[in-house]
Structure 1
Amino acid sequence: MKLNPEAVRRRGNDMPNCVEIPVRGEPEIVSFLVNQEARVTIYCETGTISIGRIAPWETKPTIRHIFRRNISQLDVVERFLRNPPQLTSIDSSLVIQPDGDQENENENIQRVKTLQSNLELMDVGIAILEGERDKLKDHVQHLQPIEPSKNNANNGAEGMEFQFSLPAEPMKHVDQCLRDISAMGRLVKSVSTNGKGTVFLYGNGGVAYTPSIPRPLYHKLSQLRKTKNRESRPSYVALSTRDRFFVSFHDGTFAFKGPKGLEKELRKAKQPPASVAFGTTYDTFFVVFKDGSWKYEGRGIPEELQLKLEDRQERADLKCVNLGPAGEWFLRAKNGRMWWGGISEEMDQSIQMLLDDGHCLSFLDFGETGSYFISYD
């Protein structure tokens, strides 16, 4: 057991902003209502912390969860209890809408304002959060560290750890993927999400995915179920909004949907890409090749990212770059140094907690409505 339940209970009950919520029949689970607005549940056996809040921008009361795994220190628990991460909605003015969607967008904004002004969050929130206990327990059970199978030498040397935030419906499908991967005794090697859909690469060529990934990619991955040839399986996947995606395979081939500029760069390149990212506009992309060289085009490249590239004298030493639907960006060089920007306060807070705990970031992925995956070791 990673945490002592009684020690966690004492620490929380000593804090004036915490009110313990009894969890019947589960002595290793401790739960608190914090600041009368968030439910923080600590699963002491696995060291997982779940923060549940109502997402006020949704048209009906909806719970969004943030998860942090493998916590073993009471001081880290106390930080979450003192200041639980906030949910962040994306300002619609920051996202370029397709023609004809502005009227609907204005209606959505008005509905959000009405909900925020009229909804009594405390009373509704407590009732909903109480009903989420069993779902959270089941969810965390399936997020326990995935160990390699002793009978399979091709599982891969190591897996990634993740902290992530997703809407409730996509979370259900992510649960199922993690459950299936865990049942096979495999380790997750990488994750790609656009907020609605998520793809997991695991073991030695394994792939799991949720239903709401881009339809052409869904059909392509579905066809792979008929073959056991590792060379035909995905080695890298990138998802984005507007059904854009990129997937490369172990045999050196690739498939994608995106701007024509990306197709031009990929066709003339004499080497496979190491990473592909899509930006806020359909024509925006950033591709990094395995030798560290890179190329980008489009109106949606974040200015901060451009300045960072210039500050680094545009060196061809990149490992990967990622872009998000609301101007987020992540840059990693081959020497291990990383930079990022345009992220939500919630995600920034999650990253800072991981760094304070001594973890090393590996990758940041961004999805719609502030969704994210943080990969770390």
Structure 2
Amino acid sequence: MSGTEAERSLAGAAAGHAVLAFRSCGLRQPEPADAACEGAGRVIPEWVRTAQLAKLTDVEIEARLVARDPRWRVEDPSDDARLRELGEATRAPGLGLAVAVALGDTRLVLRRLSPLVASTDPLDVSAVLGAVSYLNDAALSADAVSSLPENVKQPDHELVYQGQWALGLWRTKQRKPALQRAEELMRTWQGLDPASLGAALEKQAPYPLVDREAVMASIGAAQYVRAEAQREEAERLEPPAMKGVKSAAEMKSYVEGPFHDFAQEKQAQLESATAEYRAIAELEPVPPPRWVTEAAARVGEMWLTFATELTSLKPPASAKLDADSLTSLERAMQASAAPLRDRAKRSFEVCTEYGKRERVAMEAVKRCEEALKGL
């Protein structure tokens, strides 16, 4: 797009106004979605157009990153070719890395990421943290952990750094250090005074750069790690062995004794894990939608697995149970599992509805939709 110097000047001013309009948007509120940013669908395309007319490469990159960000509900995002062209043209390496992440080009991300790990420039650090988050989400957590920035100074960057580190460690099976990081981050977060909290949440920036929602997402990731640890501990519990069960009476004694105790203990531990997952939805000022959705999916899967474990209880081959005894056992287990299935169904519904509305965690949403088909 070309124009006279006067047109370019006017376009530059218009782009500046669009930037201010974007900056004025508040942190997204859960209900109704984007209440403070209802004009985003009109402002952002104009921002893109005027930045391109003014030939402001970096401004256009930011505008196009915002246009691709599902949080702002822009239905006509920028095309990959133009964004890739801008990523090559910019003299800001952090923006070049952000473009690679937005394009989902993992090879380009890794190539542009490595030289920036030691950078002290805040934009570079922000882009590196965005790339680390991308790698964690792309099941490349080993690369994420090894690419964490070396010069984190700003409070919002520090929170994102710790959250992504905890998540990366967890996903590379380093359970103990991951949980330690997550616990430390949650203590730090809960101990922030109002001024520090405001400093951590003051930025507005497009994905993948660090902003207030990236901070909340990393806090959500840390809480998710805590919940996962609780779930894994609960799921290590297994039913006691059926030793010496050879009759209906002995089977009844086993079910009402050792198996009942096991089920009670496991349910209590699953309740604790559920509380940890639900804590994500209670994070303030606004819970991170991606992790709310992931948590709802996990809670549903957790309770459905437990319900299946109960209904899968079968007497050993050595136990000679008559048809009535078998039917009675099956009915009892189905009755015990029914409320668990209901809980799972409600969680899957939350996962599906919330994830679709917020346009996040679509893989989790697909799992939830598949699970609901069987309930």
Q: TM-score, normalised by structure 2?
A: 0.26
**Rg larger for:** 2
More helix per residue: 2
More strand per residue: 1
Which protein, 1 or 2, shows the higher relative CO under an 8 Å CA cutoff with sep ≥ 6? 1
